[in-house]
Structure 1
Amino acid sequence: MSREYRPGEIVTYPYLWAWQQDRGETEGRKERPVCVVVAVRSDRGGLTHLALLAITSQPPRADRLTLEIPEMECRRAGLSDLKRAWIVVDEYNYDIAERSYYLEPGQDSLGRFSKPFMMRVAATFFESTRRSGHRINRVD
């Protein structure tokens, strides 16, 4: 796979929630939009390591760390069909693009968040992962 992934890009992906993993599930139940928050190509092997954040139209529970996506950002991201949307930043799926069973080769992105909004998302994500962010490994 030679596609380049960039932070802020929105793609579809069968996201596996932490609660599903805790129940022993290994596959996401449906394709959903996700945001690439980290995309790092390693020097050894040239593999692209991804951290993917789920986007949901369901209002979040009070115990979840989320950011509501402003209407303009929804349009930029190709999510204008959603009346309201949130990006979940307290858990993420980790995958390797070139070895992924879940990323479709040659898949087009839906859109991309603006740099200012992505900086806010990334700062909140990194703070969350420092504290207790939950990584769901999708490379096994």
Structure 2
Amino acid sequence: MFLFPLTSQKPDRSRPHLAISEIECRRGGLDYPSWLILDEYNRVQVDEAYDLVTTTPIGAFSPAFVRKIAGVIKETAAQRRLRGIVRK
């Protein structure tokens, strides 16, 4: 599982991020406003995600928003600005 940070604080403009619209926050079960930080992620095995209360989804973004997220991640990776941390 790849976990990208979510924040309720507007991120620094130098970091790749996406503002999550009010409707997408409702769909995802998040407070509004929220942002996704897209230059770093944690990689965890689902069966080893001990720091998560549950892996049951609380909501889901629309397919169109997920494509937008994927596009920014792809651009960030192409610029070699994406970094991952493997959690054990």
User: Structure 2 length normalisation: TM-score?
Assistant: 0.87
Identity %: 36
One-letter identity of the residue aligned with 1:118: V
Per the alignment, in what secondary structure is the counterpart of residue 85 of structure 2?
strand
Per the alignment, in what secondary structure is the counterpart of residue 111 of structure 1?
coil
One-letter identity of the residue aligned with 1:121: I
Aligned mates of 1:64, 1:132 — CA distance in 2: 9
Aligned mates of 2:35, 2:5 — CA distance in 1: 8
Q: Which residue of structure 1 lines up, in the alignment, with residue 47 of structure 2?
A: 98
Shift of the 124–136 alpha-carbon distance from structure 1 to 2, 3 Å rule, reads same
One-letter identity of the residue aligned with 2:17: T
Q: Which residue of structure 1 lines up, in the alignment, with residue 87 of structure 2?
A: 138
Extract unaligned runs of 5+ from structure 1: 1-49
Q: Which residue of structure 2 lines up, in the alignment, with residue 51 of structure 1?
A: 2
Q: Which residue of structure 2 lines up, in the alignment, with residue 113 of structure 1?
A: 61
Larger Rg computed on CA atoms? 1
One-letter identity of the residue aligned with 1:99: E
Contact 2:25 2:32 (C-alpha < 8 Å) held by counterparts: no
Aligned mates of 1:78, 1:101 — CA distance in 2: 21
Higher strand share: 1
One-letter identity of the residue aligned with 1:102: D
Structure having greater relative contact order (Cα 8 Å, sep ≥ 6): 2
Contact 1:55 1:88 (C-alpha < 8 Å) held by counterparts: yes
1:89 aligns with 2:38: yes
User: Structure 1 length normalisation: TM-score?
Assistant: 0.57
Q: Which residue of structure 1 lines up, in the alignment, with residue 12 of structure 2?
A: 61
Shift, 1:125, TM fit: 1.0
One-letter identity of the residue aligned with 2:58: L
Contact 1:97 1:103 (C-alpha < 8 Å) held by counterparts: no
Shift, 1:115, TM fit: 0.3
Shift, 1:84, TM fit: 1.0
Per the alignment, in what secondary structure is the counterpart of residue 87 of structure 1?
strand
